[in-house]
């Protein structure tokens, strides 16, 4: 004989409120993890771009030192902002060769670093600018070099 039992009084399940509270808690935890991970990623990319900018600026400074040591009049008598490419070519800072990628090649793609060297007496200020990771601001790196004659 088949007996059907009703367990409605003794059954215990999750109510819709409990399910919604659990979903809310899980969503908050996942949202917090996403925000933390995103900030960490942006900070890492920002540090990498700054490191690349420092490399390019130091390279520009080394080329400047070499040209100054050789007595290059293009460098020693420069009155307008300039940059150096291919170790010997001195061009105006507005020249496309002064906009480089992380490898130091001319580029129009992001991240692109704009290099400009300004002369003030025997002091040269090498400045590299680029759009930050978010694209909202411009980051800048300056190195100063003094030529002794």
Domain spans, the chain: 16-146
pLDDT band at 6 (very low <50, low <70, confident <90, very high): low
pLDDT band at 78 (very low <50, low <70, confident <90, very high): confident
Strands 123-131 and 113-120: antiparallel
pLDDT band at 4 (very low <50, low <70, confident <90, very high): low
> For residues 44 and 106, which has the higher predicted lDDT (pLDDT)?
44
Least confident of 10-24, 110-124, 125-139: 10-24
Q: 89-100 pLDDT, tens per residue? A: 899 999 999 999
Q: Tell me: pLDDT of 143 over 60.
A: yes
pLDDT score at 7: 55
pLDDT band at 62 (very low <50, low <70, confident <90, very high): very high
For residue 117, report the phi and psi dihedrals to the nearest 5 degrees. Answer: -115, 130
Q: Tell me: pLDDT of 41 over 90.
A: yes
Strands (E), 17-135: 82-85, 89-92, 99-100, 113-120, 123-131
Q: Which residues pair with 106 in a beta bridge?
A: 100
Q: Tell me: pLDDT of 24 over 80.
A: yes
Strands (E), 80-149: 82-85, 89-92, 99-100, 113-120, 123-131, 138-146
| Alpha-carbon torsion (66, 68, 72, 76), positive or negative | positive
């Amino acid at each position: 004989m088949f007996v059907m039992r009703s367990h409605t009084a003794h059954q215990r399940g999750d109510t819709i409120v409990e399910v919604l509270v659990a979903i809310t808690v899980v969503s908050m935890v996942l949202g917090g993890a996403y925000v933390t991970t995103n900030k960490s990623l942006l900070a890492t990319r920002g540090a990498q771009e700054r490191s690349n900018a420092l490399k390019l600026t130091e390279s520009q400074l080394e080329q400047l030192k070499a040209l100054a040591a050789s007595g290059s009049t293009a460098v020693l008598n420069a009155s307008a902002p300039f940059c150096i490419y291919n170790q010997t070519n001195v061009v105006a800072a507005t020249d496309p060769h002064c906009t480089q990628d992380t490898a130091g090649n001319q580029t129009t793609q992001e991240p692109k670093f704009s290099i400009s060297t300004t002369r003030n007496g025997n002091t040269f200020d090498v400045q590299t600018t680029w759009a930050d990771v978010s694209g909202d601001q411009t980051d800048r790196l300056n190195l100063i070099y003094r030529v002794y004659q």
